[in-house]
Amino acid sequence: MYKQCIYCLYEGIMEAVIKKWGNSLGVRIPNHLVRELALKDGSFVDISDKGKTIIIKPLQKNNLSAMLKNINEQNLHTEIEVGSPVGKEK
């Protein structure tokens, strides 16, 4: 699928400029990818490399409510005894 944008050189390949951002470097993500991947300011991404290729993947952070819904009898563990209370735990 071809998306028209000023970043597109040809289908699937985009060109962007790396810019200084504080002590780091940053790259802008084109708006059509932001919408397609449901990204927003503050979204988490995983950045990895394979050889000379940088891979940026969106991460879906679980919230506590979503994680608690996945607890069931099969994955529920028993309490673990770690000793008597000490210090301000008393």
Q: Which of helix, strand or coil describes residue 32?
A: helix
- Confirm whether pTM is higher than 0.75: no
* The pLDDT of residue 85: 86
Distance set, CA 57 to CA 35, 45, 81, 86 (Å): 14, 5, 39, 44
Q: What is the pLDDT along the chain (90 residues), one digit of tens a residue?
A: 444 444 444 456 778 889 999 999 999 998 888 999 989 998 999 999 999 999 999 987 778 888 888 899 999 888 898 888 888 877
The domain defined by 8-76 carries CATH number 3.40.50.10800: no
